[in-house]
Structures are given as structure tokens and as C-alpha cells.
Chains A and B, each alone.
Chain A
Amino acid sequence: EDKVVQSPLSLVVHEGDTVTLNCSYEVTNFRSLLWYKQEKKAPTFLFMLTSSGIEKKSGRLSSILDKKELFSILNITATQTGDSAVYLCAVVVAGGSYIPTFGRGTSLIVHP
């Protein structure tokens, strides 16, 4: 059974801190890994990673994938209160229907 594990489950930091969120996976026939940010409502897409070692970056957020060690990290630098959210990681396997398997998420709270 495909498995996606995120850590930590929750994190409380102050504005300006840098955080690293982890996503490890055990799947057969990996295709891609997706990161989403979920505030009060729907998850919004952040990154899609398919190749090892290539960093994806968007402003203060960045993410990288290690296909050998089967994990990805999401970094947020100079955190702001608006970064408070649940961050979800999902893995898509090749073959079949390409349905994402989601982790339980990391809840990030940024205090002013």
C-alpha cells in the first residue's frame, strides 16, 4: 500500500523564522510529488516535483525532491503570519489512474 508520511505534525514559530517541512513516501512506481497549502478552505497548489535535486522556488518557498532517499522538503524562509496553514504533500504513482495519495499534513502556526 502506498504511504506518505509528513513531519512534524505541527509546528509553532515566530515571524521571521525559517521552517523545513518533511514528506517521506513509500510507493511503487513514483511519478510526481505535489505540495499544497490549505488555509481555512481548499488546498491550493504550490509545487510539483518529478526530478531529484532540482529545486523549485516561489518567493520565500522552495522545495526539493530526493528520489533515492524517498523524501521531499518544503522550506519557508522569513515566515509571515500569512504562512499559517496546513501544508499537504501528495504522491502520484505512474500506471493506472494517477491518483494522488495525500499525507496527513503539517500544521504551521506563525506568531507575530
Chain B
Amino acid sequence: DAMVIQNPRYQVTQFGKPVTLSCSQTLNHNVMYWYQQKSSQAPKLLFHYYDKDFNNEADTPDNFQSRRPNTSFCFLDIRSPGLGDAAMYLCATSRDIAGGSSYEQYFGPGTRLTVT
């Protein structure tokens, strides 16, 4: 089945130690998103890739970076995790075409990040 896969499902890192979260998709969608969801809160968009074009949300901290080496994969890098970065990180994809079409987003199961 076509899907959005996130690895690992659970990640523990130390304060200040860089960590990378992975997302892959078999849907061949051209847009990939990263959301941060803290406990009992709504998901919040960090950034997205429209094809190869990176789009950062204005309030996303510089500590968060992303890479998309090809259509199928997208990575979230947290350069120096703080205790406040502990959250569920959700990857999503959509198939958008120029002109404003707005297809629904498909979410992966998420990676729960713990910072010790």
C-alpha cells in the first residue's frame, strides 16, 4: 500500500545532541511537510518542500532544518535539541499542482522525540 513512513517511531536524544528524523513516501507526492505536535496541542507546521523548493514558516526556530534529497525522502534535523523540543513530529505529503489546487495531506504515524 502507498503510504508515508516515519523512522524511528520513538527517538531519545540528549540535550544539545543533534538528531535527525526520517520520512519517506511511496505516494510520489510532490509536497512534503513537517509538523511539530506538543502534548495535548494541535500540530504546527514547521516547513514544507514544494518539489525542491524549501518553504520555512516565519516562526520556525533556526535550530530546525530540513533536507529533501529526492522526491521520496525528507529529513528533519534538530541541531541542538532543547527540552522544549520534546514533541511528536509528523510528516505529511500532498499532491499539489500549480494554480492553487489544494489536495488533502496524508500523514505518517509520527516520531515521538524525547530529550533528556
User: Are A and B genuine complex partners?
Assistant: no
